[in-house]
């Protein structure tokens, strides 16, 4: 069996999110998921561990968002608000061509929804 992956667009839809940049990359595959709120490690060291990932980070954690954008990130998911990302985050994501998804859902709900989507995807194989 190959890698179990979903697209950026499927991810956004499953978490009730909105892709606010680089919509043309909605068909790119997300193979890994990393939560930025659960680490005390350096953000750069932490996010360097996985490639082709969705980095799921609370809206107010600019440090973790910027660290994730320095690594192999397929998309950045900002949780806890539908606010516009900070200028520096948006600028860095745009320069690297990384889509940003915003959602009002908390991180715990996002994880639950991703689990359900992956389970459904696995069953349909």
Q: Provide the domain count of the chain.
A: 1
List, in order, residues 6 or more apart from 52 with CB less than 8 Å away. 5, 29, 30, 31, 32, 72, 74
pLDDT digits (tens, 9 = 90+) for 52-88: 999 999 999 999 999 999 999 999 999 987 778 999 9
What pLDDT is recorded for position 121?
77
Is 110 domain-assigned?
Answer: yes
The answer as to whether 1 is a domain residue is no
> What residue numbers bound the domain in which 103 lies?
6-123
pTM of the model as a whole: 0.91
> Which CATH number belongs to the domain containing residue 42 in this structure?
3.40.1390.20
As a three-state string, the secondary structure of 67-112 is HHHCCCEEEEEEECECCCCCHHHHHHHHHHCCCEEEECCCHHHHHH
Task: Inform me whether the pLDDT recorded for 120 exceeds 90.
Answer: no
């Amino acid at each position: 069996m190959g890698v179990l992956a979903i697209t950026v667009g499927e991810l956004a839809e499953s978490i009730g999110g909105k892709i606010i940049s680089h919509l043309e990359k909605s068909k790119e595959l997300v193979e890994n998921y990393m939560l930025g709120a659960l680490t005390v490690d350096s953000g750069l060291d932490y996010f360097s561990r996985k490639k082709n990932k969705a980095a799921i980070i609370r809206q107010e954690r600019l440090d973790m968002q910027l660290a994730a954008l320095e690594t192999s990130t397929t998309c950045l998911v900002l949780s806890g608000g539908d606010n516009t990302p900070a200028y520096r985050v948006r600028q860095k994501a745009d320069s690297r061509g990384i889509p940003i998804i915003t959602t009002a859902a908390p991180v715990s709900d996002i994880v639950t929804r991703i689990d359900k989507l992956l389970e459904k995807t696995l069953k349909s194989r």
